[in-house]
């Protein structure tokens, strides 16, 4: 990776990876691709940014040509809960947007990283120790777009030799950008509410286990996979990666160790609960460990401690 375009740079999953990429590859070598939300602060001031709406192939093509981009980190996507509310938009961004990125990559010989998700699984998938290769019949629009995206990336690799790579991200927990429109967002909101109000009303039922990952590990997964020896990659576009699995009771208990007065109650959202019930309780990520040495640094206790320390400082400003 020498010249990198990051789409979706300003959104939940985009802003921190973009800054890490700038630190590692040079500010001028990482182009922030924005659509409607303008970048702020360090993200805006530290290097180039350009309007890149991935559903407009001319915009993607223009920026790739202008900066001689060799790698596209394609993070622009509509997440699960919004995708259920706006399936047309989800199809347009998650499928047509990806197709445009792959076409431009084919033309200009770029490598492409695209995240898939635990949302690529569904109700008939084995939900415990979910294997790398297994049944994928999701019943959400988000899931449909994620499975299609995995297949499309495989196709572009086999048919056109585009160097496509990707992981199935679990819920990502970050102290920088607030989540929006996902099913796993509760695992971030809970920290903000615990610090600000000492209580949280959770929209996911007790006993619903989901895989999660702290943002530094999510960034490491993307960079390690893109830097991996291609000769060792068998799965390429859809590696299961996980760092921890918990239900709302377990994360609440961990937070209570730091904020003893914290309490949690429930007001379950039927849409997000139904989605969560079709996603793995925990994935088997041994293929990623074997093929490119995946190893997360943060489990639940270390992530919780770091989130509380960082957010306490941030929210006191």
Q: Which residues bind ligand AKB (CB under 6 A)?
A: 79-80, 117-119, 142, 169-171, 182-184
Q: How far is the CB of 254 from ligand AKB (least distance, A)?
A: 19
Q: Which is nearer to ligand AKB, 62 or 123 (CB)?
A: 123
Q: Which is nearer to ligand AKB, 160 or 192 (CB)?
A: 192
Nearest residue relative to ligand AKB (C-beta): 182
Helix 186-197 × helix 248-256 angle, to 10°: 30
Closest distance to ligand AKB from the beta carbon of 290 (Å): 23
Q: Which helix (H) or strand (E) holds 111?
A: strand 111-113
**Cβ nearer to ligand AKB, comparing 37 with 38:** 37
Q: Closer to ligand AKB by CB, 63 or 210: give it.
A: 210
Residues ≥6 apart with Cβ < 8 Å to 187 = 171, 173, 210, 212, 246, 251
Query: How near is the Cβ of 143 to ligand AKB at its closest, in Å?
Result: 9
Chain centroid, CA 115 distance in Å: 6
Q: How far apart are CA 285 and CA 116, in angstroms?
A: 14
Say whether 142 is catalytic: yes
Cβ 58 to ligand AKB shortest distance, Å: 28
- What's the CA gap between 145 and 208, in Å, rounded? 24
Which listed residue (25, 67, 99, 142) is catalytic?
142
* Residues involved in catalysis: 142
């Amino acid at each position: 990776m020498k010249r990198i375009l990051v789409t979706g740079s300003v959104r939940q999953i985009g802003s921190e990876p973009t800054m890490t990429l700038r630190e590692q590859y040079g500010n001028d070598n990482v182009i922030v691709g924005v659509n409607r939300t303008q970048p702020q602060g360090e993200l805006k001031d530290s290097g180039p940014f350009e309007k890149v709406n991935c559903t407009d192939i001319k915009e993607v093509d223009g920026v790739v040509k202008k900066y001689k981009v060799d790698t596209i980190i394609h993070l622009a996507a509509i997440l699960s809960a919004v995708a259920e509310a706006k399936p047309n938009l989800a199809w347009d961004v998650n499928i047509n947007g990806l197709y445009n990125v792959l076409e431009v990559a084919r033309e200009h010989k770029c490598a492409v990283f695209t995240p898939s998700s635990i949302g690529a699984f569904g109700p008939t998938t084995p939900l415990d120790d979910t294997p790398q290769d297994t049944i994928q019949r999701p019943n959400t629009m988000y899931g449909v777009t994620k499975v299609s995206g995995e297949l499309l990336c495989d196709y572009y690799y086999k048919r056109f030799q585009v160097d496509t790579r990707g992981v199935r991200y679990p819920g990502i927990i970050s102290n920088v950008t607030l989540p929006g429109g996902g099913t796993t967002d509760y695992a971030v909101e809970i920290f903000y509410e615990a610090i600000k109000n000492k209580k949280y009303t959770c929209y996911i039922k007790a006993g619903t286990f989901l895989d999660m990952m702290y943002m530094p590990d999510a960034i490491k997964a993307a960079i390690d996979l893109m830097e991996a020896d291609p000769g060792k990659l068998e799965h390429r576009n859809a590696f299961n990666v996980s760092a921890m699995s918990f239900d709302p009771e377990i994360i609440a208990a961990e937070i209570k160790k730091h904020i003893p007065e914290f309490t949690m109650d429930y007001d379950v959202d039927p849409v997000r609960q139904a989605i969560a019930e079709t996603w793995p309780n925990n994935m088997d990520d041994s293929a990623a460990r074997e093929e490119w040495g995946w190893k997360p640094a943060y489990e639940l206790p270390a992530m919780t401690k770091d989130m509380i320390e960082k957010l306490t400082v941030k929210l006191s400003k």
